[in-house]
Chains A and B, each alone.
Chain A
């Protein structure tokens, strides 16, 4: 960036033009930067403004909180619904980045993740959210860690991260306990914290992801942990995440969502609606027929055992044996996430806000 170059160039001027000029220069520079910072901070430090548009905005993730629902989305929006998604009110949020995931451990403790390497934590049921981690801190941690380890390669990578600034999102979140969570994200980011986000351990050396592919989804069932991502990347751990093995699939496109089913079953779905099922922990894969070639972004396992998926054409699909069946007739806006409601109906999130889909519509 130019401003950085100027700042670096100034000390060179010291010898040439004398100290007085430098003081003036520095003062001018600081004044300007100071006023800019005061006006509009970066999104990772800027609390979300009050908005009436929450329920019509791009929402990314939704979860149950007791009998309430909590959803997150663009511009740091955190929304709460007390009536099964009919109406939404905004909760205060300390950031303005796009939030990509939210999970609650119980009706008090929960986490939200998002762009800029953001991890937020609440301990009072979503009333107050605190930043546990942002991309700047993360890069500093990694640099410190790399310096301590003395590993040249990771030092170089950490220095790059610091230079890049907080521009890398977390894309999915796995909650294993009140204080125990794993976050995955862009460029192969994968970190674990066992103390509610105070300290973090990198999983990146356990996952063989040399090209830093984006990791879109992380799932756990018993001791199996599954991570899927860009360009057909799939990694499976059978020891609760201690070690991962990269799984070969017949597809080279990206997987955006995955489910671990009973036994050794795995379901993967992603770009252009490509969907694959394995019954043997990824040894063999079979392609699932999908009538709509539109990317599948999210999925969940319905309480009746059926896997339901949401695609960008605004259609919910049900996985029946070897094919996907459209469950909704009316085209909805492009969908971003789905959640089963208490009564068995489905709440979908879209780029224009939440949409309730009645059970009768797809059963």
Chain B
């Protein structure tokens, strides 16, 4: 990156339009054509952007090449027991469910659900569905009937009968809460509607919310859980994030205006940055991408990066106009000076994003692609179109004058702003030592904390949403009243066709289940083997002495034939073992995974294989494994890429060290911050460090490149640094703050991982900026001395 510090010409000389690079001549000698093309492109992409859809895809968050996920995807359609179902708990706030008014409302509610499109009506269950039955043992065998007694009329007698039926239905803890003050409407969903359309989560969620509102108005209390609701709430949250974008635009605009005090140019910079966002949003649907809760951060980043680069361009033009140049000439000079510099910085950002492509998780890859598109677009909008527009519009007279007043002699320390003088102290020995010791202490403390960094999600409930969100409160209600854990790990057991009920296989499952239940985090399990224990007791008149997994093939075949779906598949070649967990913490999951792996190693045969993993906790375990591997891989790659880029720019290993050490400190501190905030490494936090480092290197590039030019010319470190501060210091600060502001608004996002990302990114942007302004000169004091450079490369620079 070359910041040319020489003035090109004085205002008195006439400007030769044939001067400048080829690109410059092509662009600036056909300014009007460029503007027209830009308008056309904006029109087309703007129209395309209206087609952009927001969706949340579960599968895209999966590491699709991970072994467990491969297993899951292979058998996904066979795993009926993990189907997409909603559970609606209907609470009677006035007490027990044996209340005529409550039951009438429940009946209406249940009927409405039954009629909703996409509901699997055969499997749907509530107190009112005919499938909810009681069973009793009699001398002649089994007897039973619907729990709602025949001729139910809401009278005390029929309520009493209902209560007795519920008691012997075995549904307490399943469809009816243990305290009998609420009951469940179980609502399995078909993955496709009758017409073959995929389930629209957002729409479904809206319908459920309407129903919730309706029946809460009637005096009931409603809790809804299920994957569809999580997705619906997520999409709703993403839509809320659009308001944060507006807020970020307003704040960034105010900041740029505060910096320039020029309405015209501030407007242009905001306009160019928004143009970049529009183009980017237009390109996404053109290439077939949608915006998801992860990639929605990209428009924020693109806008913020655009603002900082735009401000830099405008700063140059303003100074040239202030020195008396015509606005066109000023624009061309600025383009000449800063195009390559801007390009290098944007390419550095792009490298930071591109590194994310190696991670085998689609949302992260799409985020990387979207961000790369955004950065590419910025090259046009902010490096080309913005100067051309400025060449037409010009800048405010007063602001231009003001910018030159600030444009003071770099060598005259007394005229420097106090902040520059303060920062310059870090080029002196004492202050440098102090800064480095402070940095080292921070690094040691942060590092010792960061060793506790956990992989995975650490909170209860749906990790995508906040702990106190409506949904997670509903989950807590379900866990408390129905004892049903929402964290399920499903182990798939593959057998030859038709042999899912073989004794040898079920015996292994039975043993595995009991082993797993000994693990402290396992709440309960379920499988065909466990069912056979229960059913055997039932078949023997309910006598508990028959509670056993019987080594009798014909009995097992008989039990299998009558088993509910979900424990094995239609072709009887896949069994599912469900393990219900207390939580989905990384340690919990790895414990289970390790146990099952060891068991599978001892027990797998050519015919029968124990395969991990399905269910929310199984997917999470697989994701954790991938994320853990990707974390180090990504750190290695992003630092490698950034180091290479710095080496090319500075052509000095020591300079690379000076540029990278502050970034590393920030990376370690982010890990420590994550430990402090109880955040784990997960799909959402994975890209943060890559983005932070990729963008963070910009600061070092801006400051160090100008400092290096000075040093190579033989000026002292202090003078070189002051000159760099004067040229780009303000812009670096503006960039740091603008970027932070661009993402900090997310802390208010209803989506937990967005709030986490916003906080971590804002932290990284600010600390990287401080590192570049404080640690960089301190490190340079020890590593980059003008003497050193002039002895190794005597007069090399001045010759060039």
Q: How far is the CA of A51 from the CA of B545 in the complex (A)?
A: 20
B602 & A39 in contact (Cβ 8 Å cutoff): yes
Q: How far is the CA of A296 from the CA of B362 in the complex (A)?
A: 59
Q: How far is the CA of A295 from the CA of B537 in the complex (A)?
A: 13
Of B503, B550, B552, B603, most buried by chain A (CB within 10 Å of CB) is: B550
Q: Within residues 532 to 576 of chain B, which ones have a CB less than 8 A from any CB in chain A?
A: 533, 540-553, 555
Which range holds the interface residue count of chain B?
35 or more
A43 & B549 in contact (Cβ 8 Å cutoff): yes
Say whether chain A's binding surface is mostly helix, strand, loop, or mixed: loop
Interface locus among A63-71, A160-168, A203-211: A160-168
A49 & B514 in contact (Cβ 8 Å cutoff): yes
Asked whether B511 is an interface residue with its Cβ less than 8 Å from the other chain, the reply is yes
A167 & B507 in contact (Cβ 8 Å cutoff): no
A165 & B504 in contact (Cβ 8 Å cutoff): no
Asked whether B499 is an interface residue with its Cβ less than 8 Å from the other chain, the reply is yes
Q: How far is the CA of A100 from the CA of B547 in the complex (A)?
A: 10
Q: Which residues on the B side are within 8 Å of A164 (C-beta)? A: 552
B545 & A295 in contact (Cβ 8 Å cutoff): no
Asked whether A115 is an interface residue with its Cβ less than 8 Å from the other chain, the reply is yes
Q: Within residues 167 to 212 of chain A, which ones have a CB less than 8 A from any CB in chain B?
A: 167, 169, 171
Q: Which residue of A lies closest to B509 (CB)?
A: A40
Q: Which residue of B lies closest to A351 (CB)?
A: B544
Known: A36-B605, A271-B139. A115 touches B550 (CB 8 A): yes
B545 & A60 in contact (Cβ 8 Å cutoff): yes
Q: Which residues on the B side are within 8 Å of A13 (C-beta)? A: none
Q: Within residues 90 to 137 of chain A, which ones have a CB less than 8 A from any CB in chain B?
A: 96-98, 100, 115-116
B553 to chain A, nearest CB (A): 6
B511 & A40 in contact (Cβ 8 Å cutoff): yes
Q: How far is the CA of A171 from the CA of B548 in the complex (A)?
A: 12
Known: A39-B602, A40-B511. A53 touches B541 (CB 8 A): no
Partner of B545 from the list A43, A116, A171 (CB cut-off 8 Å) is A171
Q: Which residue of B lies closest to A165 (CB)?
A: B551
Known: A171-B545, A295-B543, A334-B544. A39 touches B503 (CB 8 A): no
A53 & B518 in contact (Cβ 8 Å cutoff): yes
Q: Which residue of B lies closest to A37 (CB)?
A: B504
B551 & A116 in contact (Cβ 8 Å cutoff): yes
Q: Which residues on the B side are within 8 Å of A253 (C-beta)? A: 139, 541
Q: How far is the CA of A124 from the CA of B560 in the complex (A)?
A: 42
Asked whether B595 is an interface residue with its Cβ less than 8 Å from the other chain, the reply is no
Asked whether A269 is an interface residue with its Cβ less than 8 Å from the other chain, the reply is no
Per-residue CB contact flags for chain B residues 464-504 toward chain A (1 = under 8 Å, else 0) read 00000000000000000000000000000000000100111
Q: Which residues on the A side are within 8 Å of B605 (C-beta)? A: 32, 35-36
B517 & A53 in contact (Cβ 8 Å cutoff): yes
Asked whether B138 is an interface residue with its Cβ less than 8 Å from the other chain, the reply is yes
Known: A165-B552, A271-B139. A46 touches B546 (CB 8 A): no
Partner of B552 from the list A32, A167, A313 (CB cut-off 8 Å) is A167
Per-residue CB contact flags for chain B residues 380-416 toward chain A (1 = under 8 Å, else 0) read 0000000000000000000000000000000000000
Q: Which residue of A lies closest to B602 (CB)?
A: A39
A297 & B544 in contact (Cβ 8 Å cutoff): yes
Partner of B508 from the list A39, A166, A295 (CB cut-off 8 Å) is A39
Q: Which residue of B lies closest to A172 (CB)?
A: B545
Q: How many chain A residues touch B (Cβ–Cβ < 8 Å)?
A: 49
A337 to chain B, nearest CB (A): 9
B541 & A271 in contact (Cβ 8 Å cutoff): yes
A51 & B518 in contact (Cβ 8 Å cutoff): yes
Q: Which residues on the A side are within 8 Å of B136 (C-beta)? A: 272
Q: How far is the CA of A98 from the CA of B507 in the complex (A)?
A: 14
Q: Which residue of A lies closest to B544 (CB)?
A: A336
A195 to chain B, nearest CB (A): 27
Asked whether B515 is an interface residue with its Cβ less than 8 Å from the other chain, the reply is yes
Partner of A169 from the list B507, B515, B517, B546 (CB cut-off 8 Å) is B546
Q: Which residue of A lies closest to B522 (CB)?
A: A53
Q: Which residues on the A side are within 8 Å of B139 (C-beta)? A: 252-253, 271-272
Q: How far is the CA of A123 from the CA of B499 in the complex (A)?
A: 43
A52 & B548 in contact (Cβ 8 Å cutoff): no
Q: Which residues on the A side are within 8 Å of B112 (C-beta)? A: none
Known: A39-B603, A49-B518, A116-B551. A216 touches B543 (CB 8 A): yes
Q: Which residues on the B side are within 8 Å of A50 (C-beta)? A: 518
Asked whether A220 is an interface residue with its Cβ less than 8 Å from the other chain, the reply is no
A127 to chain B, nearest CB (A): 22
Asked whether B150 is an interface residue with its Cβ less than 8 Å from the other chain, the reply is no
A116 to chain B, nearest CB (A): 7
A60 & B602 in contact (Cβ 8 Å cutoff): no
A113 to chain B, nearest CB (A): 10
Q: Which residues on the A side are within 8 Å of B545 (C-beta)? A: 60, 98, 100, 169, 171, 216, 336
Of B138, B548, B550, B553, most buried by chain A (CB within 10 Å of CB) is: B548
Q: Which residues on the B side are within 8 Å of A39 (C-beta)? A: 508, 602-603
A272 & B546 in contact (Cβ 8 Å cutoff): no
Asked whether B137 is an interface residue with its Cβ less than 8 Å from the other chain, the reply is yes
Q: How far is the CA of A167 from the CA of B605 in the complex (A)?
A: 25
Q: Which residues on the B side are within 8 Å of A271 (C-beta)? A: 137-139, 541
Q: How far is the CA of A92 from the CA of B76 in the complex (A)?
A: 41
Q: Which residue of A lies closest to B548 (CB)?
A: A98
Q: How far is the CA of A132 from the CA of B727 in the complex (A)?
A: 93
B174 to chain A, nearest CB (A): 16
Known: A51-B518, A116-B551, A271-B137. A60 touches B541 (CB 8 A): no
B547 & A74 in contact (Cβ 8 Å cutoff): yes
Q: How far is the CA of A205 from the CA of B26 in the complex (A)?
A: 111
B543 & A297 in contact (Cβ 8 Å cutoff): yes
Q: How far is the CA of A35 from the CA of B540 in the complex (A)?
A: 34
Q: How far is the CA of A252 from the CA of B543 in the complex (A)?
A: 16
Q: Which residues on the B side are within 8 Å of A32 (C-beta)? A: 605-606
Q: Which residue of A lies closest to B599 (CB)?
A: A39
A2 & B551 in contact (Cβ 8 Å cutoff): no
Q: Which residue of A lies closest to B498 (CB)?
A: A2
A46 & B137 in contact (Cβ 8 Å cutoff): no
Partner of B547 from the list A36, A40, A53, A351 (CB cut-off 8 Å) is A351
Per-residue CB contact flags for chain A residues 1-19 toward chain B (1 = under 8 Å, else 0) read 1110000000000000000
Asked whether A254 is an interface residue with its Cβ less than 8 Å from the other chain, the reply is yes
Q: Which residues on the A side are within 8 Å of B515 (C-beta)? A: 49
A254 & B549 in contact (Cβ 8 Å cutoff): no
Q: Which residues on the A side are within 8 Å of B137 (C-beta)? A: 271-272, 295
A76 to chain B, nearest CB (A): 10
Q: Which residues on the B side are within 8 Å of A244 (C-beta)? A: none
Asked whether A58 is an interface residue with its Cβ less than 8 Å from the other chain, the reply is yes
Q: Which residues on the B side are within 8 Å of A75 (C-beta)? A: 514
A322 to chain B, nearest CB (A): 22
Q: How far is the CA of A253 from the CA of B542 in the complex (A)?
A: 12
Asked whether A312 is an interface residue with its Cβ less than 8 Å from the other chain, the reply is yes
Partner of A97 from the list B508, B548, B552 (CB cut-off 8 Å) is B548
Q: Which residues on the B side are within 8 Å of A165 (C-beta)? A: 551-552
Q: How far is the CA of A216 from the CA of B542 in the complex (A)?
A: 13
Q: Which residue of A lies closest to B508 (CB)?
A: A40
Per-residue CB contact flags for chain B residues 593-629 toward chain A (1 = under 8 Å, else 0) read 0000000001101100000000000000000000000
Q: How far is the CA of A53 from the CA of B543 in the complex (A)?
A: 22
Q: Which residue of B lies closest to A74 (CB)?
A: B547
Q: Which residues on the A side are within 8 Å of B518 (C-beta)? A: 49-53
Given contact pairs A2-B499, A253-B139, A313-B167, a sample of 14 additional A-B residue pairs in the complex whose CB atoms are under 8 Å apart: A1-B503, A36-B605, A42-B507, A52-B520, A58-B544, A60-B545, A74-B533, A74-B548, A100-B545, A167-B551, A169-B545, A254-B541, A272-B138, A351-B547
Query: Closest 8 CB pairs between A and B?
Result: A98-B548, A167-B552, A253-B139, A39-B603, A39-B602, A336-B544, A115-B548, A100-B545
Q: List 26 A-B contacts (CB under 8 A).
A: A2-B499, A3-B504, A35-B605, A36-B603, A36-B605, A39-B603, A40-B511, A40-B603, A42-B507, A43-B549, A50-B518, A51-B518, A52-B520, A58-B544, A74-B547, A97-B548, A98-B547, A164-B552, A165-B552, A167-B552, A169-B545, A169-B548, A171-B545, A253-B541, A256-B543, A271-B139
Chain B positions within 8 Å of A, measured between CB atoms, are 136-139, 167, 499, 502-504, 507-508, 511, 514-515, 517-518, 520, 533, 540-553, 555, 602-603, 605-606
